[in-house]
């Protein structure tokens, strides 16, 4: 009898601990007027969130008053609903701009203010209403929360790789630091929001975060293989890049045990050396026929580019993103863009200052 009572007391205590457990992060799904997309996103999130719901409370934040979206969100008991109603007319700063980008920025600021300041969460994971998540999505962010807390040179953690298309990725365990904000499923700490909220932009919030004056030399963690998949062909970006860049993205299917992974190499004081060692092992390739030369090498390959124009030419040949923002190519760390090519082979596109920044002798 005594053992039965003790067992029941243990179970009650465990339930109590679960109830008062401090959440790792709130999860907010940003929505507007796509009820069908929202349903797909919610179902994907809840599939993996239900067993750990106390650690990741889910919110849907709707911008505007679309009744289908509101009723869809309210049909789920497992999440909380927030609604942002802003009836002020939007004045764009340049002719021909889409009002949607102004409304999105305003909604983001409102929702994050609510979650950090009204609900008092210490971290928030931001998703959009056109995303599905990987099986290890929550384990990944739980492991990354420790890094985010300890290393103040990390501005945010993302689940996205811009060059995460099937043909450019291989290793679900590989993580990188990047000078380029990836977005598309990312986690932010309250201390960083305290800094960003007062100066949040009127529009194009993601490109604003990519400006050096705002990230101030801090970096972002990103995986090689994406932990989110963006299925939103129809939206504010009007399907821009969808067929070429978003549709072929590989969503991770491996249940990585992030808690048992050694991740200290990602700390600022260790990462540059770790990354530099990988580049040192790569074989230098140059000339006009770099694709053929790269294909003929079994191991990793290093290709130097002279400037942005040169980078764009090389990137176009391989089929990766050519875009730069404020002097930084997408996914780059110290000017280096890395991706897999056809096999497990890594291609390192190395900028004119990269070797110096990484303290590698030019050889």
Q: Domain with 287 in it: what CATH number?
A: 3.10.180.20
Q: Clarify whether residues 3 and 137 are in a common domain.
A: yes
Task: Return d(Cα 172, Cα 170) in angstroms, integer.
Answer: 7
Q: How many domains does the chain contain in total?
A: 2
Q: Clarify whether residues 194 and 289 are in a common domain.
A: no
Question: Do the domain assignments include residue 258?
Answer: no
Question: Do the domain assignments include residue 217?
Answer: yes
Domain termination residue (choose one: 234, 251, 268): 251
Task: Return d(Cα 21, Cα 154) in angstroms, integer.
Answer: 25
Q: Clarify whether residues 84 and 185 are in a common domain.
A: yes
Q: Clarify whether residues 77 and 178 are in a common domain.
A: yes
Q: Clarify whether residues 81 and 172 are in a common domain.
A: yes
Q: Clarify whether residues 23 and 96 are in a common domain.
A: yes
Q: Of the listed 86, 151, 206, 362, which one is catalytic? A: 206
CATH number at residue 215: 3.90.550.10
Q: Clarify whether residues 292 and 228 are in a common domain.
A: no
| Whether 325 contacts 155, CB under 8 Å | no
Q: Clarify whether residues 50 and 194 are in a common domain.
A: yes
Question: Do the domain assignments include residue 329?
Answer: yes
Q: What is the pLDDT of residue 89?
A: 78
Give the other-Cβ count within 10 Å of 252's Cβ.
24
Task: Return d(Cα 215, Cα 186) in angstroms, integer.
Answer: 15
Q: What is the pLDDT of residue 129?
A: 97
Question: Do the domain assignments include residue 71?
Answer: yes
Domain termination residue (choose one: 233, 251, 269): 251
Question: Do the domain assignments include residue 98?
Answer: yes
Looking at the DSSP bridge assignments, the partners of residue 226 are 251
Question: Do the domain assignments include residue 95?
Answer: yes
| Whether 102 contacts 90, CB under 8 Å | yes
pLDDT per residue of the chain (363 residues) written in tens, 0 to 9: 556 545 545 655 555 444 557 999 999 999 999 999 999 999 999 999 999 999 999 999 999 999 999 999 999 999 999 999 987 777 888 888 889 999 999 999 999 999 999 999 999 999 999 999 999 999 999 999 999 999 999 999 999 999 999 999 999 999 999 999 999 999 999 999 999 999 999 999 999 999 999 999 999 999 999 999 999 887 655 455 688 889 999 999 999 999 999 999 999 999 999 999 999 999 999 988 999 999 999 999 999 999 999 999 999 999 999 999 999 999 999 999 999 998 899 999 999 999 999 999 875
89 lies in which domain range?
Answer: 1-251
Task: Return d(Cα 249, Cα 162) in angstroms, integer.
Answer: 9
Residue 77 bears catalytic tag: no
339 three-state secondary structure:
strand
Question: Do the domain assignments include residue 159?
Answer: yes
Q: Clarify whether residues 215 and 335 are in a common domain.
A: no
Residue 318, CB half-sphere, CA atoms under 13 Å: how many? 29
Question: Do the domain assignments include residue 103?
Answer: yes
Q: Clarify whether residues 285 and 245 are in a common domain.
A: no
Nearest of 296, 347, 345 to residue 318 by alpha carbon: 347
Q: Clarify whether residues 244 and 312 are in a common domain.
A: no
pLDDT per residue as tens digits for the range 102-150 = 999 999 999 999 999 999 999 999 999 999 999 999 999 999 999 999 9
353 three-state secondary structure:
coil
200-208: long-range contacts at Cβ-Cβ below 8 A with a sequence spacing of 24 or more?
200/105, 200/108, 200/109, 201/105, 202/93, 202/102, 202/105, 202/106, 203/92, 203/93, 203/97, 203/101, 203/102, 203/104, 203/105, 204/101, 204/105, 205/104, 205/105, 205/108, 205/109, 206/181, 207/325
pTM for the predicted model, two decimal places: 0.92
Which bin fits 126, alpha (ψ -120 to 50), beta or left (φ > 0)? Answer: beta
Six token digits for residue 356: 């110096």
Q: Clarify whether residues 63 and 159 are in a common domain.
A: yes
174 three-state secondary structure:
coil
pLDDT per residue as tens digits for the range 318-345 = 999 999 999 999 999 999 999 999 889 9
């Amino acid at each position: 009898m005594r053992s039965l009572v003790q067992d029941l007391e243990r179970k009650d205590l465990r339930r109590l601990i679960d109830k008062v457990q401090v959440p790792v992060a709130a999860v907010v799904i940003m929505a507007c007027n796509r009820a069908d997309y929202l349903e797909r996103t919610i179902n994907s999130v809840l599939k993996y969130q239900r067993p750990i719901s106390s650690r990741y409370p889910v919110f849907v934040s709707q911008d505007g008053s679309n009744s289908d979206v509101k009723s869809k969100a309210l049909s789920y008991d497992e999440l909380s609903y927030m609604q942002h109603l802003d009836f002020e007319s939007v004045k764009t700063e340049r002719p021909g701009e889409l009002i949607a980008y102004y409304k999105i920025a305003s909604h983001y600021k409102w929702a994050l203010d609510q979650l950090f300041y009204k609900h008092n969460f210490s971290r928030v994971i931001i998703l959009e209403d056109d995303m599905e998540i990987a099986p290890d999505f929550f384990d990944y962010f739980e492991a990354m929360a420790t890094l985010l807390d300890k290393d103040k040179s990390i501005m945010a953690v993302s689940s996205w790789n811009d060059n995460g298309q099937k043909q450019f990725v291989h290793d679900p365990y590989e993580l990188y630091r990047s000078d380029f904000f990836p977005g598309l499923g990312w986690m932010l700490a309250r201390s960083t929001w305290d800094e960003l909220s007062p100066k949040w932009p009127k529009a194009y919030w993601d490109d604003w975060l990519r400006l050096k004056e705002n990230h101030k030399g801090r970096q972002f963690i990103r995986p090689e293989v994406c932990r989110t998949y963006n299925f939103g062909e129809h939206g504010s970006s009007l399907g821009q890049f969808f067929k070429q860049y978003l549709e072929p993205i590989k969503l991770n299917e491996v249940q990585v045990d992030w808690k048992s992974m050694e991740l200290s190499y990602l700390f600022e004081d260790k990462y540059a050396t770790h990354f530099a060692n990988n580049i040192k092992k790569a074989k230098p390739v140059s000339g006009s026929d770099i694709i053929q030369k790269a294909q003929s090498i079994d191991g990793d390959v290093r290709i130097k580019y002279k400037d942005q124009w040169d980078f764009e030419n090389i990137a176009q040949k391989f089929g990766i993103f050519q875009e730069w923002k404020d002097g930084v190519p997408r996914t780059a760390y110290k000017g280096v863009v890395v991706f897999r090519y056809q096999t497990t082979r890594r291609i390192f596109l190395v900028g004119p200052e990269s070797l110096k920044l990484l303290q590698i002798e030019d050889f």
